[in-house]
Structure 1
C-alpha cells in the first residue's frame, strides 16, 4: 500500500521531522531534480527556509537505464556504484560515454532551472538535501560529494522514504539523516506513492520561481 498520496503530501509529512531547523537564516533546502523539488518546496515552506535546486544526474547502465552505475553532480563530481560496475563488467569507456551525455543534460538543466539567478552560497550553511526517496543512494552521494567542496556547516539528508540499510549508510556520511519511512524490501521508490508521475521541467521552474519570489518578499 502506498505511503504518500503524492510528492506534495510527502514533503509536508517530511517537514514535520525537521522542525528543529525552522526559522533559521542559515538553513538552505536543496531539492534534487526533478522529483525531489516538489518535496523540497513543501519542506522549505514549512521551515520558512530558502529553497534552491542542486542538479545531479544518474548514470544508467546502457540497456538497463533504471539501474544506476553512478551519478554526476555540479562541480565535476562523479560517484560510481562499484558493486554494479564490477558485477556487470562495465568498462571505463562506457562510463565515460554515459557521463559525457549526462553532463550535457546537467548543464542544460542548471541553466533552465536557475536562469539568471546566481547559485546560492553554500559555505557555512546548514544544508538540507531533499529527494523523493532513496533506492541505491548514488544520486544523493554525488550531491553530498559536490556540496562538501563548498564547506557547509552541516549537511542533512532528508527523504520521505528509503530502505533502512540505505539510511544507515548515510548516517556515516553526513551530519544527520531524516527518513520519514523505512520499509523493508523497498524495491522501487515509486511504489510508496499513489501518484508518482514524472515531475516536469516546467513544474520545477514554477516551484523555484514561487519560492524565490516568497523569499524576496520576506526580505523586503
Structure 2
C-alpha cells in the first residue's frame, strides 16, 4: 500500500486543482506499477539509451528515454540526433489504452475516446533530481498531458499559465498516482521540487528514485 504522510492521509482523494487539472491518487495498484517498472528497464536498454537531456550547455538532473517521438528541449524528432541517430521505440498499444483510461478517470469520456498519445517521455528522478517550473509547450495540440508517478514520492508544484511564480500549489505525488492537465490548465507552469527517499511501496521492483511517464498527443504530422 502506498505510504501516507501525516496529514496528507486526509487529502489523498481525487480532486481538481484547477479547471482542467485533476489529481487521482492511488490510480495504479502495486502489480501494475511493477509491470511498468519492468517495461521502463527495457526502454532504457533500447535502441536509444536513457540519457540526461541538455538545455543549451546545461545538463538536466532528470534522465529520460522517449517512445514514439524523441524529445529534446524545443521539440520532437523521429530519430535521436542528439544521442546516437537511431529511431526511438514506438508507443505500445497498452500505453495508448492506459492513456485513454487516465482521461476517462477524470470524467472526460469524450476526450478519452479519441485520445491517442504519439509521444511518451519516461523520466527517471534519482534522489537528487528535480525539475524547474516549465510549460509543456512543444506540442501544437491542446490535448491533455497524462502524468503517472511510480516509486518514491515527490513534491510536485502546479502553478498558473502566466508565469513561474505564485499562485501555485504543492502536492505530494505518490507511487501509482495519476495527474492529468488539459483545457485551461494545459499550459500551466509545473515542476518537481524534490524527491522523498524511502517512500516507494515494496514490491514494485524500484529500489529508489521515481519514474514519471508523461503521455502526449502532440498534433504533429505523422
Structure showing the higher strand proportion among its residues: 2
Structure showing the higher helix proportion among its residues: 1
TM range (shorter): 0.3 to 0.5
Q: TM-score, normalised by structure 1?
A: 0.32
